[in-house]
């Protein structure tokens, strides 16, 4: 994997983290504004948790690829 590919993947991961964070903030604010039930708000929380978990998975995969390239 070249440095350009690693950089591209790193930027993609950063965008996923930022997008998930913005989604979570917006969903929380919208849920409070619309008076959604706690169950519905929890669904949005779980979706955000899945997004962050996916980003961590991608980050670990990128870290492993970088370590493999060092050897």
Rg (alpha carbons) of the chain, rounded to whole number? 16
The DSSP result for 15-69, as a single string, is HHHHHHHHHHHHHHHHHHHHT--HHHHHHHHHHHHHHHHHHHHHHHHHHHHHHHH
Map out the domains of the chain as residue ranges: 3-70
pLDDT at 56: 98
How does pLDDT run across 45-71, given as a tens digit for each residue? 999 999 999 999 999 999 999 998 776
Chain center to CA of 51: 4
pTM of the model as a whole:
0.88
Residue 35: is its pLDDT beyond 90?
A: yes
pLDDT at 1: 79
């Amino acid at each position: 994997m070249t440095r350009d590919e690693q950089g591209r993947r790193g930027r993609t991961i950063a965008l996923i983290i930022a997008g998930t964070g913005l989604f979570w903030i917006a969903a929380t604010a919208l849920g409070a504004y619309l008076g959604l039930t706690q169950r519905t708000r929890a669904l949005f929380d779980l979706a955000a948790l899945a997004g962050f978990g996916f980003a961590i998975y991608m980050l670990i995969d990128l870290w492993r690829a970088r370590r493999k390239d060092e050897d």
